[in-house]
Chain A
Amino acid sequence: MNVRHGSLLVVAWVVANTLLPAAHAQVLPEDRLDVLYHSYEGDQITITGPSLLARKSIGSKLSVSANYYVDEITSASIDVRSYASPYTEQRNEYSLSADYLVGETILSTGFTSSDEQDFEAQTAFFGVSQEVFGGLTTVNLSYARGWDEIGQVTDPTFFREADRRLYRLGLSQVLTKNFLVTLDYEGITDEGFLNNSYRQVRFLDPNDARGYRFQPELYPETRTSGSLAIGGRYFIGAGPSAIYANARTYSDTWGIDAWNAELGYTYSLRSKWIFDLSARHYSQTAADFYSDLYPFENAQNFLGRDKEISTFTNTGVKLDVTYDFRVDMFRFLDRGTLNFSYNYIMFEYEDFRNIPEGGDPGEEPLFEFNADVIQVYLSFWF
């Protein structure tokens, strides 16, 4: 699989390079500052925190960016309510990246570090972006490598590692003066300790008063996945406005097959306001080794009862409102936007049961919950 992902990227790169004579001048991303506050509430989990993103050009060839992101987590999730105690924790994430313009190509590299009480993750990436066909086509290739270190709050001696490789090929294509399409492929391979160090699976035990007991989950030590996404955005005169759609298919070696689709509409009012309304649906099948209730202890080589690898769907609607304003107070700022985003997501599980609700083992009601996702942020261009 590694060879397949690698050769795909090489072929795409050769194609892009062969087309160099038709290349168009690339430009670096705009200088900007974003200050965001995010809030997620659902399944008795609250996650809030800031995200700060700053991007600045240094000369005409180099652009650097830095991002600081925080998740403040208070959790009494369905897993916690089933067999553990509520907890709070904080995750901090720091990212640095640089984009360098070389002729008609943008070379990008970056590093992200994330830490929480019992989990540390580092990711490094390298990417190449090339415009061809007079700027009508943009080809992006990137490779990322990640290293995870997993611990346990309850056992300071617990230490496991996981290794990740991500291969990505992206294409955006202008089809007409009003129509833009994108195509993305991403292959990911993981190796190491891939399960959660706390999560439990349950199995039938007629000798237990409840009729079942729990044991730690046990995942395979490798996972390889491929996902393919296609998107389109079409300009409509009124407003101006645009309609857009995205769809993605996914499958992996654990047996999870998934797809999602999104449809949205963006409307600009008097060049001051932008409204964006979208709906998204996601559906997946369970991993081969997943079960809500195993027939006995150590029933299989691999055991998993994480709802994220069960069979489920979610459907969400999202509204974004942007207000564009001039910044006269500070001379070094060109313009700013004030943004508000609200997303409502409904999750429905088909083979994951709500244990705290009670009932005979395996007959409890199926789990479902709704989530509210809110973002408020300011963006400045300078």
Chain B
Amino acid sequence: MRARILATLLTGTVLASGCSNIEPWVKPYERANLASEVMKLDRNPVSGSYMNHVHESREGARGASGSAGGGCGCN
């Protein structure tokens, strides 16, 4: 199992190293639309958290229900 994890880590590292020089294809000055209020992933966290609670307490499924966080790199 350890060898498998190590091999996966090495592969991941090698793949990622190849990507480290990729230039951002959306420039900072092109991110005005992404910074708009209507594009926010979690505009109202207190409300989003409540709705997750409403769904999770009445459904069998759980997890991966919130937004991924982060954003558009607009700041």
Binding site for B on A (CB under 8 A): 3, 7, 10-11, 14-15, 18-22, 24-25, 27, 34, 36, 38, 40, 51, 53, 67, 69, 129, 131, 133-136, 138-140, 166, 168, 170-172, 174, 176-178, 180, 182-188, 225-229, 231, 233, 235, 239-242, 248, 250, 252, 256, 258, 260, 266-268, 274, 282, 284, 287, 308-309, 314, 320, 322, 339, 341, 343, 347, 373, 375, 377, 379
Contact = CB atoms under 8 A, between A and B. Distances in A.
A133 B19 CA distance: 9
A346 B71 CA distance: 32
Contact of A284 (B28, B36, B61, B72): B61
Given A18-B13, A248-B65, A250-B63, A268 B38 contact: yes
Given A180-B41, A240-B38, A129 B64 contact: no
A123 B19 CA distance: 36
B61 to A, nearest CB: 4
B20 A284 contact: no
B39 A235 contact: yes
Nearest to A375: B47
Interface of B: 1, 5, 8-9, 12-13, 15-17, 19-26, 28, 30-31, 33-34, 36-39, 41, 43-47, 49-51, 54-55, 58-75
A51 B58 contact: no
Given A274-B38, A287-B60, A22 B46 contact: no
27 contacts: A10-B9, A11-B9, A15-B12, A18-B13, A24-B73, A38-B50, A53-B46, A69-B50, A133-B22, A134-B28, A140-B68, A140-B70, A170-B68, A174-B72, A177-B31, A180-B72, A182-B68, A235-B33, A235-B39, A240-B38, A256-B61, A260-B61, A274-B38, A314-B58, A320-B44, A320-B47, A375-B50
B50 A51 contact: yes
Nearest to B45: A53
Contact of A235 (B16, B34, B63): B34
Given A18-B13, A134-B73, A377-B47, 18 more contacts: A14-B13, A69-B50, A136-B25, A172-B68, A186-B64, A227-B62, A227-B65, A231-B67, A235-B34, A235-B38, A258-B59, A258-B60, A258-B61, A282-B55, A284-B61, A308-B58, A308-B59, A375-B47
Given A11-B12, A180-B34, A235-B33, A18 B72 contact: no
A343 to B, nearest CB: 7
Contact of B46 (A34, A40, A138): A34
A284 B23 CA distance: 42
A233 B38 CA distance: 9
Nearest to B25: A136
Nearest to B17: A18
A40 B60 contact: no
B71 A14 contact: no
Contacts of B38: 235, 239-242, 266-268, 274
B61 A248 contact: yes
A225 B68 contact: no
A268 B66 CA distance: 23
Contact of A282 (B49, B59, B72): B59
Contacts of B50: 36, 38, 51, 69, 375
A229 B63 CA distance: 9
B40 to A, nearest CB: 9
Contact of A129 (B51, B54, B70): B70
